[in-house]
Amino acid sequence: MPSSKTQRDALLLVANYDSDVGYAWWLMESFWVALADRYAPGADVVLAYPSISKVPAAIASAPMELAVCDYSKRSFGELLAQWRLIVSRRARVMYLTDAPSLSWRYALYRLGGVRRIIVHDHTPGRRTPPGRLALAVKKLLHRLPLLPADAMIGVTPYVSRRHREVVGFPADRCFVAENGIPEATSTERLGVHTAFGIPASRRVLVAVGRANHVKGITVVLEAMAKLVHQQGRRDVHFLFCGDGPHLGDFKVRATALGITEFVTFAGRQHDIMPILRGCDMAIHASSAEVGYSLSILECMQARLPLVVSDDESVAGASEHGLTALVFRTGDADSAASALTRLLDEPALAIRLAEAAADRVVNHYSLERTRTRLLQAVECASAPLLRNGGLR
């Protein structure tokens, strides 16, 4: 650690999970790297993990220092550790993930020297808007000194709207940095029929995500049962890539529906794009996301015709009849109808897939996301973060 005579002010990045957490946490890591690349020339950049096991390669090579400190804890000892890190590293700007918009702890951090607190919100799902009086009180609380964050960044317009309409956060301090994915660097395609033992005569319907009930996999299984038993189809097979707490429940449900011959549970797959390119169509039946899911964007990038549930927290990247077919959330009949259209109307499937792929290139690139993020952070932190350093 630099001595007090030479130490610079710092940008403190706060992680919520251990350094080796997978799934979509890579996206947050890419944001930390972008912020470090931008501001490390003129400021210390410190990333605080609750615990450190294996450090991701991108983080290890970035111009930042690592610390162990759990900012989710509220005990006196943990709060003291949080405050000491802020003071010792001269943290002037804090960048938090999925933290509250209002907290008494923010006042403690400010007493330690923090001058700007920025929250990047990735939390999924719908929120119930409060009544007019409750919303007015929330708006008033968010105008108080010390307690509110200085800025809320939503990962989609849907999340940012929640900040304004449900949380009561001031609109002039709300920003959007829409989630994006990296540009495809390979066209590798996996032969999924051979890899997963699927009959060559079947078109493969794929879904990717955590094995959690909120992802709507049960609805997909029920839709498959309708295709197999009611329509008598033998030309479709469901491939689910993912693991999680409810995977066993999905397997039991597939057995009860009599469709185990037409379903493959492949578990978590680390290189998903070649698998997606080897499939014929995709479905995302979730009932709670942040406006859309990264897996939806990956399916779009892979040029897969896509079926998506119509919940407003899920379908934000999908336009019915243009880039996807949208079905009623939780409705297996509606999902089966949409899948039938893709199976029976190949021209429609091709048109949807091509339009979706173009949409990712033009609107959902990771580079665009990073640019929007840096713009939001600099605007929210002005005049502190300017020209690659802290003032």
Rounded to two decimals, the pTM is: 0.89
Q: Are residues 172 and 316 in the same domain?
A: no
Distances in Å between the Cα of 110 and the Cα atoms of 15, 28, 113, 156 are: 19, 24, 5, 28
- Provide the residue range defining the domain that includes 119: 10-180+366-390
pLDDT band at 1 (very low <50, low <70, confident <90, very high): very low
Q: Is the pLDDT of residue 4 over 50?
A: no
**Residue 127's beta-bridge partner residues?**
none
- 186 found inside a domain: no
Asked if residue 5 belongs to a domain, the reply is no
Mean pLDDT of the chain: 93
Mean pLDDT on 228-245: 97
Q: Tell whether 225 and 349 lie within a shared domain.
A: yes
In a domain, 185, yes or no: no
Tens digits of residue pLDDT in 64-91: 999 999 999 999 999 999 999 999 999 9
Q: What is the pLDDT of residue 361?
A: 94
DSSP assignment of 324-390? BEEE-TT-HHHHHHHHHHHHH-HHHHHHHHHHHHHHHHHH-BHHHHHHHHHHHHHHHHTTTEETTEE
Q: What is the pLDDT of residues 286-311, one digit of tens each?
A: 999 999 999 999 999 999 999 999 99
Domain count, the chain: 2
Specify whether 17 is located in the same domain as 117: yes
Residue 1, domain member (yes or no): no
Length of the chain: 391
DSSP state of 50: S
Same domain, 294 and 328: yes
Q: Does 157 share its domain with 269?
A: no
Tens-place pLDDT, residues 109-146: 999 999 999 999 999 888 899 999 999 999 999 999 99
In this structure, what CATH number is given to the domain that contains residue 65? Answer: 3.40.50.2000
Is residue 187 in a domain?
no
Whether residues 171 and 218 share a domain: the answer is no
Specify whether 66 is located in the same domain as 206. Answer: no
Q: Is residue 335 part of a domain?
A: yes
- Asked if 180 and 371 count as a contact pair (C-beta separation under 8 A), the reply is no
In-domain check, residue 248: yes
131 and 58 in a single domain? The answer is yes
Q: Are 111 and 222 in the same domain?
A: no
Q: Is residue 336 part of a domain?
A: yes
